[in-house]
Amino acid sequence: MSTKDLSYVRRDMIAPEPPPISTKTIGGWLRTNLLATPKDVVLTILALALLALALPGIINWLFVQASWFGADRSVCATVVQGGIRPDGWKGACWAFVGDRFQQFMFGRYPLEERWRVILVGIMLIVLLVPLLMPKLPYKALNAVLLFLVYPVVSFFLLHGNVLGLDRVETPLWGGMMVTLILSFVGIAVSFPVGILLALGRRSPMPVLRTFCILFIEIIRGVPLVMVLFMANVMLPLFLPTGWSIDNFLRAVVGVSLFASAYMAEVIRGGLQAIPKGQGEGADSLGLSYWQKTRLIILPQAIKLVIPGIVNTFIGLFKDTSLVAIIGMFDLLNIIRLNFTDTTWITPMTPLTGLVFAGLIYWIFCFSMSRYSAFMERHLDTGHKR
Amino acid sequence: MTDHAINAPATKQASASLIYDPKVRSIFYQVLTVVIILVAGLWIAHNVSSNLARSNTATGFGFLAGRSGFDIGQSLISYTSDSTYGRAIVVGFLNTLMVAVTGIFTATIVGFIIGIGRLSKNWLIAKLCTVYVEIFRNIPPLLVIFFWYSGVLAVLPQPRDAINLPFSTFLSNRGLTFPATIWGAGAWMLPIAIIVAIVIAVVFRKWSMTRQMATGQQLPNGWISAAIIIGVPLLFFFAIGAPLTFDFPVEGRFNLSGGANIRPEFVALYLALSLYTAAFIAEIIRAGIRGVGKGQTEAAAALGVQPSKITRLVVVPQAFRIIIPPLTSQYLNLTKNSSLGVAIGFPELFSTGSTSLNQTGQAIEMITIMLTIYLSISIATSLFMNWFNAKMALVER
DSSP letter string, A96-151? HHHHHHHHHHHBT--GGGHHHHHHHHHHHHHHHHHHH-TTSS-HHHHHHIIIIIHH
Q: 3-class DSSP state for residue A90?
A: coil
Is the confidence metric ipTM above 0.90 for this complex? no
User: By mean pLDDT, which of A104-113, B69-78, B232-241, B379-388 is the weakest?
Assistant: B69-78
pLDDT at residue B11 is higher than 90: no
Which residue in chain A is spatially nearest to B117 when comparing CA positions?
A43
B249-258 exposure pattern, b = at least 16 Cβ within 10 A, e = fewer: bebeeeebee
Which letter does DSSP use for residue B257 in this model?
A: E
Q: Between chains, do A226 and B30 touch, taking CB under 8 Å as contact?
A: no
Closest CA to B265 of B392, B336, B175: B175
Q: Between chains, do A321 and B142 touch, taking CB under 8 Å as contact?
A: yes
102-141 in B: which are within 8 Å (CB) of A? 120-125, 128, 134-135, 137-141
Q: Give pLDDT tens digits for B255-312.
A: 666 677 788 888 899 999 999 999 999 999 999 988 888 889 899 999 998 888 888 8
- Supply the pLDDT for residue B356: 86
144-183 in B: which are within 8 Å (CB) of A? 146-147, 150-152, 154-155
Cα maximum dimension of chain A:
123
Q: Give pLDDT tens digits for B186-196.
A: 777 788 888 88
Looking at CA atoms only, how far is residue B151 from chain A in angstroms? 4
Chain-wide mean pLDDT for chain B?
82
Q: 3-class DSSP state for residue B247?
A: strand
User: By mean pLDDT, which of A152-156, B267-271, B337-341 is the weakest?
Assistant: A152-156
B216 CB-side CA count, 13 A:
0
Percentage of residues in chain A having pLDDT higher than 70? 98
Cα–Cα distance, B78 to B72 (Å, whole number)? 10
- Supply the pLDDT for residue A318: 92
Select the residue of B26, B52, B374 nearest A223 (Cβ to Cβ).
B374
Mean of the pLDDT values across residues B161-190? Answer: 75
Chain centroid, CA B68 distance in Å:
28
Q: Residue B170: beta bridge partners? A: B164, B177
pLDDT band per the 50, 70, 90 thresholds, residue B2: very low
| Contact between residue A110 and residue A125 where contact means Cβ atoms under 8 Å apart | no
Own/partner pairs for A97-102, CB < 8 Å, 24+ apart?
Answer: A97/A352, A97/A353, A97/A356, A98/A68, A98/A69, A99/A70, A99/A71, A99/A343, A99/A344, A100/A335, A100/A338, A100/A344
Chain centroid, CA B339 distance in Å:
12
pLDDT at residue B1 is higher than 50: no
Cα–Cα distance, A328 to A325 (Å, whole number)? 7
Q: 3-class DSSP state for residue B79?
A: coil
Q: Between chains, do A322 and B340 touch, taking CB under 8 Å as contact?
A: yes
Q: 3-class DSSP state for residue B256?
A: strand
User: By mean pLDDT, which of A84-88, B8-12, B302-306 is the weakest?
Assistant: B8-12
Cα–Cα distance, A32 to B123 (Å, whole number)? 9
Give the dihedral of Cα atoms B267, B273, B274, B280; nearest 10 deg.
170
Q: Give pLDDT tens digits for A89-98.
A: 888 888 888 8
Looking at CA atoms only, how far is residue B241 from chain A in angstroms? 42
pLDDT at residue B69 is higher than 70: yes
Task: State the amino acid at position A338 in one-letter form.
Answer: N
- What does B7-20 look like in DSSP terms, one character per residue? HS-HHHHTTGGGGG
Phi, psi of B67 (to 5 degrees): -75, 130
pLDDT at residue B10 is higher than 50: no
> Between helices B316-337 and B363-392, what is the axis angle to 10°?
180
Cα–Cα distance, B100 to B94 (Å, whole number)? 10
pLDDT at residue A202 is higher than 60: yes
The answer to whether B45 contacts chain A (CB < 8 Å) is no
Cα–Cα distance, B361 to B369 (Å, whole number)? 14
Cα maximum dimension of chain B:
100
Chain centroid, CA A183 distance in Å:
9
Q: Which helix (H) or strand (E) holds B338?
A: none
Cα–Cα distance, A140 to B118 (Å, whole number)? 41
Closest CA to A101 of A91, A90, A114, A89: A114
CA distances to A174, A250, A286, B233, B237 from B228, rounded to whole Å, are 60, 57, 70, 8, 14
Cα–Cα distance, B339 to A333 (Å, whole number)? 17
Q: Between chains, do A218 and B26 touch, taking CB under 8 Å as contact?
A: no
Choose the mutation target among B36, B123, B365 for the interface with A, i.e. most A CBs under 10 Å. Answer: B123
Closest CA to B177 of B301, B73, B66, B263: B263
Angle at A96 between CA A94 and CA A99, to 5 degrees: 110
pLDDT at residue B5 is higher than 60: no
Cα–Cα distance, A244 to A253 (Å, whole number)? 14
Select the residue of A207, A336, A365 nearest B34 (Cβ to Cβ).
A207
Cα–Cα distance, A325 to A247 (Å, whole number)? 12
Helix ranges (H only) for chain B are 4-7, 10-13, 22-54, 85-118, 123-137, 141-146, 189-215, 221-239, 264-291, 294-302, 307-309, 316-337, 349-360, 363-392
- Supply the pLDDT for residue A383: 57
pLDDT band per the 50, 70, 90 thresholds, residue A157: confident
| Contact between residue B84 and residue B65 where contact means Cβ atoms under 8 Å apart | yes
- Supply the pLDDT for residue A385: 44
Cα–Cα distance, B257 to B168 (Å, whole number)? 12
B109-127 exposure pattern, b = at least 16 Cβ within 10 A, e = fewer: ebbbebbbbbebebbbbbe
Q: Residue A97, class by beta-carbon neighbours within 10 Å (0-12 exposed, 13-18 middle, 19+ buried)? A: buried
Q: Domain residue spans in chain A? A: 26-63, 94-379
Cα–Cα distance, B350 to B343 (Å, whole number)? 10
- Supply the pLDDT for residue B8: 46
Mean of the pLDDT values across residues A286-305? Answer: 89
User: By mean pLDDT, which of A183-187, B226-230, B254-258 is the weakest?
Assistant: B254-258
pLDDT at residue A214 is higher than 60: yes
Neighbouring CB atoms inside 10 A of A307's CB total 14
Q: Residue A328, class by beta-carbon neighbours within 10 Å (0-12 exposed, 13-18 middle, 19+ buried)? A: buried
pLDDT band per the 50, 70, 90 thresholds, residue A382: low
Select the residue of B2, B33, B37 nearest A283 (Cβ to Cβ).
B2
| Contact between residue A364 and residue A179 where contact means Cβ atoms under 8 Å apart | no
Contacts with B146 from chain A: Cβ below 8 Å: 332, 336, 350, 354
Backbone region of residue B153 per phi and psi (left: phi > 0; alpha: psi in -120 to 50; beta: other values): alpha
pLDDT at residue B108 is higher than 80: yes
pLDDT band per the 50, 70, 90 thresholds, residue B85: confident
User: By mean pLDDT, which of A373-382, B51-60, B251-260 is the weakest?
Assistant: B251-260
Q: What is the topology classification, in CATH, of domain A94-379? A: MetI-like fold (1.10.3720)
pLDDT at residue B395 is higher than 70: no
Neighbouring CB atoms inside 10 A of B328's CB total 16
Select the residue of A223, A314, A358 nearest B337 (Cβ to Cβ).
A223
Do β-strands B244-247 and B180-183 pair in parallel, antiparallel, or remain unpaired?
antiparallel
Q: Which helix (H) or strand (E) holds A93?
A: none
pLDDT band per the 50, 70, 90 thresholds, residue A192: very high
Looking at CA atoms only, how far is residue B150 from chain A in angstroms? 6
Cα–Cα distance, B31 to B37 (Å, whole number)? 10
